[in-house]
Structure 1
Amino acid sequence: MNKAITEGVALMPPAFVDGLDQWSSGDGTPGSDTYDGAVNAAFVPSDADFGGCLELQKTASTQNLRHMGQTPLLPGCYLQVKARIKAISGALPSVRIAAWAGGSGGSHIGGVVETGPSTTLTSYGAVVEVSAIIGTGARGGVDMAWGRNATYGHMGLDLTGPTGGVVRIEDIEITDITSAYLRDMLSLVDVTDFGAVGDGVTNDAPAFEAADDAADGRRILVPAGEFYLDDTVSLNHRVVFEGTVTMPTDKMLLLTKDFDLPTYAAAFGEEEMGFKKAFQALINNSDHESLDLGGRKVSLSGPVDMQAAVPNKTSYSTRRIIRNGQIEAQSGVAWDTETVTAQATYDPNDSRTLTSVANIANIPVGALVEGSGVGREVYVKSKNTGAGELTLNSPLYDAAGTQVFTFKDFKYMLDFSGFSSLSKFGMTEVEIQCNSHCSAIRLAPAGSVFSLDHCFISRPKDRGISSIGSGCQGILIDNCQFLSAEEPDNVPDRVSVALNVNANDAKLRNNRATKFRHFAILAGENNTVTGNHFFQGDTVTDGVRTAGLVISSTYCSTTVSDNYVDNCFIEWTNELDSTPDFTAGFSFSSLSITDNVFLSGDVAPWFSYIVIKPYGSDHFLNGMSVSGNKFRSINGSIDRAERVDTSFSGLDFSRTKNVFFEGNTFHNVSAAVSNPLRVRHDQSSATKTWTIDPDDGLPFGGRSRGVDSVIALGAIRTSGGSSRYAMPYVDLEQGSNQDQIDLVWEESVHGEVQVTMRMDK
Structure 2
Amino acid sequence: MNIAVTDGVALMPTAFAEGLDVWSRGDGRPGSDTYEGLATAAFVPADADFAGCLEIQKTEGTQKLRYMGQTPILPGVYLRVTARVKAMAGSLPEVRIAAYAADGGGAAVGGLTTQGAPVTLQSYGEVVEVSAIVGVGNRGGVDLVWGREPAYGHFGIDLTGPNGGVVRVDDIVVEDVTRFFLRDLVSVVDVRDYGAVGDGSTDDSAAFEAADAAANGRRVLVPEGTFRLANSVTLESRVIFAGTVTMPTAARLSLTRNFDLPTYIDAFGNEQLALKKALQSLLNNADHESLDLGGRRVSIDAPIDVHAAVENRDTFSQRRVLRNGQLRAENSGNWAPTAVTSTATYSTGNDRRLTNVANVANIEVGSLVEGAGVGREVYVSAKNVGTQEVTLSEPLYDAAGTQSYTFRRFRYLLDFSGFTQLEKFEIEDVELQCNEQASGVLLPPDGTVNVIRNCVFNRPGHRAITSHGQGCQGMLVDHNQFISAEGGELTQNRQSVAINTNANDVKLRNNRASQFRHFAVISGQHSVISGNHFFQGDSNSNGIRSAGIVICLTACNTTIANNYIDNCHIEWTNERDAEPDFTGGFGFAGLSVTGNVFLCSHVAQWFSFIVARPYGTDHRLNGVNISGNTFRCVGGTINRVERVDTSFAVLNHQAARNVVVSNNTYHNVEYGAENPLRVRHSQNSHAATWVIETENRLPFGGRAKDVQGLALTSRPRDANNVSKYVTPYVSTEEGPAADRVHAIWPEPMRGDVTLTVRMDS
The verdict on a shared fold, with TM-score over 0.5 as the criterion, is yes
Residue by residue over 1:407-463, the C-alpha shift from the partner in whole angstroms, topping out at 9 and shown as x without a partner, is 101000100000011100011111011010110100111111111111101100000
Q: 1:36 and 2:36 equivalent?
A: yes
Kindly state the Cα deviation for residue 70 of structure 1 after the two structures are TM-superposed.
Answer: 0.9
Partner residue, 2:703: 703
2:329: which partner in 1?
A: 329
SS of 1:742's equivalent in the other structure is: strand
Equivalent-residue separation in structure 1 for 2:694 and 2:145 (angstroms): 98
The answer to whether structure 1 residue 617 and structure 2 residue 617 are counterparts is yes
Contact 1:443–1:468, Cα closer than 8 Å, also in 2 = yes
Residue of structure 2 equivalent to 1:590: 590
Aligned to 1:163: 163
Distance 2:636 2:532 in 1: 25
Matching of residues 433-512 of structure 1 within 5 Å: 433-512=433-512
Amino acid at match of 1:364: E
Instruction: Please tell me whether the aligned partners of residues 346 and 353 of structure 2 are also in contact (alpha carbons under 8 angstroms).
Output: yes
Q: Secondary structure at the match of 2:600?
A: strand
Aligned residue in 1 for 2:207: 207
Q: Distance in 2 between matches of 1:560 and 1:512?
A: 15
- Does structure 2 conserve the Cα–Cα contact (< 8 Å) formed by 1:415 and 1:442? yes
CA distance, structure 2, for counterparts of residue 193 and residue 339 of structure 1 = 55
> Structure 1 length normalisation: TM-score?
0.99
Letter of the 2:40 counterpart: N
Q: In the alignment, does 2:547 pair up with 1:538?
A: no
**Aligned to 2:689, what secondary structure does the other structure show?**
strand
After TM superposition, the structure 1 stretch with the greater mean CA deviation from structure 2, 89-98 or 208-217, is 89-98
Asked if the contact 1:3–1:179 (Cα under 8 Å) also holds between the matched residues in 2, the reply is no
Q: Summarize the Cα distance change of 1:648–1:71 in structure 2 as closer, same or farther, 3 Å threshold.
A: same
Rounded Cα–Cα distance in structure 2 between residues aligned with 1:217 and 1:513: 48
Q: Which moved more, 1:380-389 or 1:23-32?
A: 23-32
Alignment partner, residue 289 of structure 1: 289
Q: CA deviation at 1:723?
A: 2.2
The residue that corresponds to 1:70 in the other structure is: 70
SS in 1 for 2:661: strand
Contact 1:6 1:176 in 2 (8 A): no
Contact 2:4 2:11 in 1 (8 A): no
Q: Give the direction of change, closer, same or farther, for the CA distance of 1:185–1:262 in structure 2 (3 Å limit).
A: farther
Say whether 1:219 aligns with 2:219.
Answer: yes
SS at match of 2:473: coil
Counterpart of 2:176 in structure 1 is 176
C-alpha distance in 1 between matches for 2:355 and 2:528: 36
Cα contact 1:77–1:136 (8 A) shared by 2: yes
**Secondary structure of the corresponding residue to residue 470 of structure 2:** coil
**Identity of matched residues, %:** 57
Unaligned regions of 5+ residues in structure 2, if any?
none
What letter is aligned with 2:622?
Answer: N
Deviations 1:193-232 (CA, angstroms, capped at 9, x unpaired):
0110101100000000010111111000000000000000
Query: Cα–Cα, structure 1 residues 587 and 132, in superposed 2: closer, same or farther, change >3 Å?
Result: same
CA contact (8 A) 2:464 2:497 kept: yes
Residue of structure 2 in register with 1:567 after alignment: 567
1:83 aligns with 2:91: no
Shift of residue 2 of structure 1? 5.7
**Kept in 2: contact 1:94–1:159 (CA 8 A):** yes
Counterpart contact for 2:355–2:388, Cα < 8 Å = yes
Match of 2:760 in 1: 760
Alignment of 1:232-271 (within 5 A): 232-271=232-271
Q: Give the partner amino acid of 2:407.
A: F
Distance 2:183 2:342 in 1: 66
Matches within 5 A, 1:360-371: 360-371=360-371
Give the whole-Å Cα distance in 1 for the aligned partners of 2:186 and 2:320. Answer: 36
Indicate the SS of the match to 2:429: strand
The Cα of 1:183 is off from its aligned counterpart by 2.3
Aligned to 1:208, what secondary structure does the other structure show? helix
Contact kept, 8 Å, 2:250 with 2:312, in 1: the verdict is yes
1:603 and 2:611 correspond: no
In structure 1, the residue matched to 2:153 is 153
TM superposition shift of 1:62: 1.2
Q: Which amino acid aligns with 2:612?
A: I
Structure 1 residue aligned with 2:636: 636
For 1:165 and 1:753, locate their aligned partners in 2 and report how far apart those are by CA, in whole Å: 138
Match of 1:308 in 2: 308
| Contact 2:337-2:411 within 8 A present in 1 as well | yes
The reply to whether residue 729 of structure 1 matches residue 729 of structure 2 is yes
Alpha-carbon distance in 1 for matches of 2:470, 2:695: 45
| Deviation digits for residues 372-418 of structure 1 (CA, Å, limit 9, x no counterpart) | 00000011110000111000000111111111111101000100000
Q: What's the CA shift for 1:364?
A: 0.7
Match of 2:691 in 1: 691
What is the CA-CA distance between 1:105 and the residue it aligns to?
3.2
Say how many residue pairs are matched.
761
Q: Contact (CA 8 Å) 2:4, 2:10: kept in 1 or not? A: no
Q: Give deviations 1:644-665, integer Å, cap 9, x for gaps.
A: 0000001000000000000000
Q: Deviations over 1:321-345 (max 9, x none)?
A: 0010000000111101101111111
Q: Secondary structure at the match of 1:382?
A: strand
Q: Does 1:196 align with 2:196?
A: yes
Distance across 1 between alignment mates of 2:300 and 2:278: 15
Structure 2 residue 404 is matched with structure 1 residue 404: yes
Question: Which ranges in structure 1 are unaligned for 5 or more consecutive residues?
Answer: none
Matched residue type, 1:138: N
